[in-house]
Structure 1
């Protein structure tokens, strides 16, 4: 049987505006991974008109804007994300937008100090009116870890350690915690502010070096790479069966997919899986998302940066051909 505290937390989470906008059983919503600019031949976007594009996404009804955590440029990977650090950038975009959820995809938690991160994200959640979704990952770039003096092989353990501290100080009043890496408290100090509704959704972006059982038991959702269409049913079943086994058959925890989108001119061009994402026409993409929704996928985060079409043109086509089938909650 669920405790009163667990029931209260689930109620608070469902009332958090960002969570409610993105996630609902048997529904699917569509978000965008920043930058809102195509740059297939360059590691860095120009970030020209980025505020205007964020406002456009908000006005067109996209569910979310997701920001990646790429602290340093590594020429080997040839990618700097949206240039700006996601924490201050979320706060900045919150001032120019009204409804769209602002997410991280995802904060590399083993490299972050969880007490300071908790203060930052709770502050943004308050200032934005509850529009923050905290996606968390372990990072996948071995060359970055020595720069922070951290052993790459320990990132899974560090993730669990930091996550426990983060969740405790976000959700408990005058929390007590003890961590070998991230300090301890005997309940003598309080985090102010707390999240707007007392809860902040934490989503695993990739498995973060954790088992699916750990994610289902401890986190509020999971976003994985887009599978090929033939594997959608198995992808959805694996997650929802794990949530049912870990949390009970009545518990809903959302499932998402994410990756690159190469949206071609021909709307009927069949969808194919590409490296890190999909290539498709808009009608074929909508068909894929209908199948994904039927398989239990609740959100898709698309990154069209690999396309050679103008980004505004891609947004307009998604807004006219895809979003009407999958409106934000």
Structure 2
């Protein structure tokens, strides 16, 4: 597909034919405790050198052991600013900011700041959230998260594009006396709703700049992409998938949580099929113990051979 957004990160991910690849933090795999930030940056710069097009940071405000992970632990905005300072042109993404748990004016200012500091490389996955104990922790009614999500999207779009706007929501009100600065480099920041985000497909197609989804069974993913193409022909579809590369390049797939363990030959065929369905971007979560070698193998044997 062809990306029409002026944002540099969006163009990096989507402004050419064929499938692109990103990597999801924590790149070292340390998702229950604080990762080694120096090792994370080393892998981030390696990913950029190897030809990955995106680096994606998760938004997990609190650690809930029952859920199984704490994301990359570091808060999304300072972390992406740090990554921006150590990379050059790779897109920086959120996967995904939980809008009902954050005040939209804080999100607008933080996101625009990262966008400015990275020369327009920020692309935002946005979500309604999926960790039940976090809603009472932030005094948010879980049943209202769908409406809060829509209000936040409206607020973000408004304060990014208008000076001294007038706007009202459950989060508060603006009466034309205050502005939110800085403004994004391209006037706004691309927003990719994640999963269903408690919204209809029609709302996502009308208000999103693309659709970001979790790993799905292949036939289900094919159907989702086909339905998306009927709803909007020019907006991208992206997924996140966990990948463990087997030592044997011919190894057949074994299911992992939200992904597979398989040889590089199977993975090449798999991503070719997803590309033929119309998938635009895949966020890869590499699971191998030797991450540096895994990034090199994935780039050499999959990215560069597609």
Q: TM-score range by the shorter chain?
A: over 0.9
CA-based RMSD of the aligned residues comes to: 1.9
Residue correspondences, number = 304
Q: What's the offset of the Cα at 1:186? A: 3.2
Q: What's the offset of the Cα at 1:25? A: 6.2
Give the alignment's TM-score, normalised by structure 1: 0.87
Q: 1:35 maps to what in 2?
A: 26
Q: What's the offset of the Cα at 1:165? A: 0.8
Asked if 1:318 is matched to 2:295, the reply is: no
- Aligned partner of residue 75 in structure 1, secondary structure: coil
State the alpha-carbon separation in 2 of the partners of residues 236 and 140 from structure 1.
23
Whether contact under 8 Å (1:225, 1:277) holds in the other structure is no
> Are the structure 2 counterparts of residues 36 and 111 from structure 1 closer, same or farther at C-alpha, using a change threshold of 3 Å?
same
Q: 2:271 aligns with which of 289, 300, 305?
A: 289
Q: 1:4 maps to what in 2?
A: none
Asked if 1:136 is matched to 2:126, the reply is: yes
Q: 2:136 aligns with which of 146, 158, 170?
A: 146
Whether contact under 8 Å (1:106, 1:135) holds in the other structure is yes
> Are the structure 2 counterparts of residues 232 and 158 from structure 1 closer, same or farther at C-alpha, using a change threshold of 3 Å?
closer
> Are the structure 2 counterparts of residues 25 and 297 from structure 1 closer, same or farther at C-alpha, using a change threshold of 3 Å?
farther
Q: 1:16 aligns with which of 1, 4, 7?
A: 7
Q: What's the offset of the Cα at 1:273? A: 4.4
Whether contact under 8 Å (2:26, 2:35) holds in the other structure is no
State the alpha-carbon separation in 2 of the partners of residues 79 and 231 from structure 1.
26
What is the CA deviation profile of residues 148-192 of structure 1, one whole-angstrom value per residue up to 9, with x for unaligned ones? 11111211111111111111111223322121x122223333222
Asked if 1:109 is matched to 2:94, the reply is: no
Counterparts of 1:231-250 in structure 2, within 5 Å, are 231-244=220-233
Q: What's the offset of the Cα at 1:204? A: 1.1
Q: What's the offset of the Cα at 1:302? A: 1.1
Whether contact under 8 Å (1:134, 1:200) holds in the other structure is yes
What is the CA deviation profile of residues 108-140 of structure 1, one whole-angstrom value per residue up to 9, with x for unaligned ones? 110010011101111110110111011101110
Give the alignment's TM-score, normalised by structure 2: 0.93
Q: 1:69 maps to what in 2?
A: 59
Whether contact under 8 Å (2:264, 2:301) holds in the other structure is yes
Q: 2:176 maps to what in 1?
A: 187
Q: 2:70 maps to what in 1?
A: 80
State the alpha-carbon separation in 1 of the partners of residues 300 and 255 from structure 2.
23
Q: 1:3 maps to what in 2?
A: none
Whether contact under 8 Å (1:228, 1:272) holds in the other structure is no
Q: 2:248 maps to what in 1?
A: 266
Q: 1:55 aligns with which of 8, 27, 45?
A: 45
State the alpha-carbon separation in 1 of the partners of residues 44 and 51 from structure 2.
11
Say which structure, 1 or 2, has more relative contact order (CA 8 Å, 6+ apart).
1
